Structure 1
């Protein structure tokens, strides 16, 4: 049974439950979960949280303690990456069943051919020589097993395959002289991780984000930071015009045509050649849905000249995982490749090149 068929079986179970169905949470993932449920003819009773320190100002959003006071039995639906939450809810005396919807976003839905290509690639001798350690193989195997529908338990239990944050991977060897480029910086979460890990000891940060909402959040957080430059633009393999879209995905992404906002894209090489980015990067992170490979191609001159360390959230570009690995190794820069998870969910598979 592959991933999508396995998910369909979960919807069938939910459809046949006798209890009212409630969704935990009220954020973007909860909205997508409700949409998926509605598509399958399932209409939840409402949403709840179990965070007593948060004031609820929404007639559809309940506190767990309010549901407990009714005494009614319920079933609960949560999104991926909520393992601690699931454990806590199992101890709730009104909860009968808990259903986990892994990867409700189409952004992360697997491509059968891409998964098979990744399996085959990892068996090649010339690739195996460049993979850093056995943990990297375990990470990829988890990813493949999950999307092939072969995983019986929670996606993730082996905490040693996790990085507490993106920058703790030992082979990064961060110093006080880092020039960090964050491509797909969104609201600054990975910039904050970088600042925390380096304890503020670095040379320069460039945070690149084309989305209005994300860029506005970046500006509020870092507008007074002298060593952090914010760039509102898209990056690609060439200079081009793209359009914003958020159709069936967790985050905004860029497409060739559409009715979304026009986003002018450039290449990382162009930004460096024209001193828009003045410092040669020592570390580049990409998390750009469907476009990580394009971003890397647009930085080829820079990568060949400097050989910065690379971090790619490759599950954002699930159809191109194998191509990204082949591209980096094909640069003939003697990069080693490692894989780790940032969170215990399949959408957080990180590739490190060093």
Structure 2
């Protein structure tokens, strides 16, 4: 399959754009996009934010405007670049409303620093992409895969909207969790995915083993477990990795917490070492770009117990295909499913795997 025929890359399009290019949003995503603009010689004309966030301040040398001020200055023939991420329904509604009124793109930049998904990236990885696509178990997964490629190339919101499903669909039809799950939660944050598990099992489980490296998130996780959970619970303030070691970790809470060259020294654990052969029936990983290493550290658990898998597949540009190949190499019996849940950009795109 020639994936490059699916859509035009957004970056050459932006380089050739003659209309004013205005950024919607501030923060880490806007920083990454503006750095890419600088590398490619793309010039932003203005930055705007939702009205409630406009306080007469500046961002990266731009005064932050309201949308109506941008329209007053440039008219409606502008190209809007969405430069932040959200899953909140009211924010998504606002993004899609902008898309109906203006020419809007949301250029894909990886959550973790690394290669951008552009034409060169596709050419370099087309063989892996074809192999991963061929492994997918259902038509919905194949649609999500192709729409993910289309979105990452073009930045057009229509591809995210066309391929999204809510989590009920995959939990009810693919994962089908039961009341006796032995749950390993890597990147447990504040207990949100433990609550998700309990929602689908009627509050029942056999055991929970949870790793969370961020100290503030771990405090919230511990408080939640102490107040709400009883039974076989193991919590560790540690990150998930391929081996037991100590690494520097940017301990900033949420999506800014990840392995880094600088930061707080943090204990890292391989799941195989934590469980030491104990059963696991459901394994979730959302470890901010360390999924490849965490899978290597869980290889024996996966081969021995074949747990249902729920893997974040969006932190790096190639996660949505490379993780599928890695899981298949660990256990070829897995049936692989790709789903995108409501989010702009293509975050909350997850790989699910179950054995027959």
> How would you bin the TM-score normalised by the shorter chain?
0.7 to 0.9
Taking the aligned partners of 2:142 and 2:73, their CA distance within structure 1 comes to 43
Shift of 1:286: 1.0
Shift of 1:184: 1.7
Residues 236 and 291 of structure 1 are in contact (CA less than 8 Å); yes or no, is this contact kept in structure 2?
yes
Structure 2 unpaired stretches of 5+: 59-65
**What is residue 44 of structure 2 aligned with on the other side?**
42
Shift of 1:287: 1.8
TM-score, normalised to structure 2's length?
Answer: 0.72
Shift of 1:121: 0.6
The 5-angstrom pairing of residues 1-354 of structure 1 reads 6-7=10-11, 9-10=13-14, 13=17, 16-17=19-20, 21=22, 23-24=24-25, 29=29, 40-42=42-44, 44=46, 46-49=48-51, 58-60=55-57, 72=72, 77-79=81-83, 83-89=92-98, 97=102, 99-105=104-110, 107=112, 109-110=116-117, 111-112=121-122, 115-122=125-132, 127=135, 131-147=136-152, 149=153, 154-158=158-162, 161-164=164-167, 168-219=171-222, 221-227=224-230, 229-245=234-250, 250-255=255-260, 258-273=261-276, 280-319=279-318, 322-332=321-331, 334-344=333-343, 345-354=345-354
* Secondary structure class of the residue paired with 2:209: strand
- CA gap 1:46/1:136 in 2 versus in 1, 3 angstroms: closer
| Structural RMSD (CA) | 4.1
Taking the aligned partners of 2:35 and 2:51, their CA distance within structure 1 comes to 19
Shift of 1:270: 0.8
Greater helix proportion:
2
Shift of 1:295: 1.2
Residues 177 and 203 of structure 1 are in contact (CA less than 8 Å); yes or no, is this contact kept in structure 2?
yes
- Corresponding pairs, count: 325
Taking the aligned partners of 1:284 and 1:23, their CA distance within structure 2 comes to 36
Taking the aligned partners of 2:197 and 2:211, their CA distance within structure 1 comes to 15
Taking the aligned partners of 2:194 and 2:169, their CA distance within structure 1 comes to 10
TM-score, normalised to structure 1's length?
Answer: 0.73
Taking the aligned partners of 2:324 and 2:71, their CA distance within structure 1 comes to 53
